[in-house]
Structure formats: structure tokens, C-alpha cells
Amino acid sequence: MLYSLLPMSNDLVVVKTKYRNISISGLPGAGSTTLGKHLAKHLDFKYYSGGDFMRKYAIEKGYFDPKETVHHSASVYPDDFDRQVDYSVREQMSTQSGCVYESWLSGFLAQQVKGTFKVLVYCSDDAVRVDRIANRDDITIAEAKEHIFTREENNLEKWVKMYGKEWREWVVAPKTLPEEAPIYFWRSELYDLVIDTFKLGKEETLEKVIAAIAQN
């Protein structure tokens, strides 16, 4: 049982939860990074960003220009390294406590891992997602659209090819989804909590997660 004092709305709220770790997943512009950082701070958990780690690796290997403000695609680094990092995250979820894991695939990697609460954030309005990315990366709306949707398509194509076996073992075999269900790592059935951030601020989103953790 984990305990934490959280400053919410100027009050201290005692949170009791059976979960050892939290995974935060979401496509670009949904708010997963913001949520992950704030949640880790309030819980006094360690924060792990898959995107930051991969970005550092891509820069070190010369796959990505550090002067670029936009985030890179998963296709810039080898499949074997991608798999190595992802399996390392899954192993940490299984053996360690007190961490918020934020990445595109963290919720998928947490499938059947006991003690990890899986959160999916999404934004039901793509125009809002695009605007958020344009502001974050200081790029035009047109550039943000191209970046978001091309990156999503490329990453999904890569990961579907890479993780077909794991999908069958972690999702189909436990009967979370039927065998005929297309592989899509951000299906609501894979998560304990799903939040649409379209009309929610960062504090409201955080409070929803805290409330869900406290109830379990």
C-alpha cells in the first residue's frame, strides 16, 4: 500500500492505493507528458519518459538533429533497440515500485503486469491536438498536422509488425480482446482509466487520475 500527501485545490488529500506503478499513454497532443510529470511530482514517484530516452539515443547515434524542435519518429532507430528498451520498461514495472511510466506504448507494455494502473489520455478533437503541438514545438499548423499524423502512421506500422507475438500473448490469450480485433495499442479496453482531455485542464486531468487511484 502506497501513501502520499497531495496538494489538491489548496488542501492536503491522503491517497491510499494498491498500485505500485502508473503507466500513462497517449498520442501526441493528448497531454500524456504533462500528466505524467505532474502525477509523478504529486506522488513523489520517479518519472520515466520513453520519448525523452529515445530522443537522447537518436541524437547520440546521429539519427536525429538535436536542433529540430519536433519529436522524431520511432522509425529512426533499429527494431532490436526499440524492443530492448520496451522490454526493459516492462521488467521494471514487474520488479520495481514508485514510478510513473509515460510513453506511447507504456500501457501496452503494462498488460498483465500486476500492480500497474494503466491510464490512457486522448483528445477527441484533432484540431486541438494540432494546436497544442504547434505551440509546444513552435511550428506552423500545417507542419504540426504533417508531423502528428505521419508520425502516428509510421510508428503504428512499425509496432504492429514488431509486437504481433506480444499482442497475442498479452492481450488475446488473457481474453482482453478477441483474436480478430485489429492491433491498436490505444484501445480503451486495455486501460484502467481513459480520459478525454479535449475540455480538461491539466489540474482537472490530474484530479481524475488521483480520484481513480484513491478508489482502488
Q: What is the pLDDT of residue 130?
A: 95
| Helix-, strand-, coil-residue percentages of the chain, each rounded to 5 | 50, 20, 35
**Would you list the domain boundaries of the chain?**
2-214
31-40, 82-91, 124-133, 191-200: which range is least confident on average? 82-91
User: pLDDT tens for residues 61-116?
Assistant: 666 666 665 555 566 678 888 888 899 899 999 999 999 999 999 999 999 999 99
Q: Is the dihedral of CA 16, 22, 28, 33 positive or negative?
A: positive
Q: What is the pLDDT of residue 8?
A: 47
Name the superfamily (CATH) of residues 2-214: P-loop containing nucleotide triphosphate hydrolases (3.40.50.300)
pLDDT of residue 3 exceeding 90, the answer is no
Q: What is the pLDDT of residue 14?
A: 47
Q: Which residue has the higher pLDDT, 147 or 65?
A: 147
Q: Which residue has the cell 486531468?
A: 205
Q: What is the pLDDT of residue 61?
A: 65
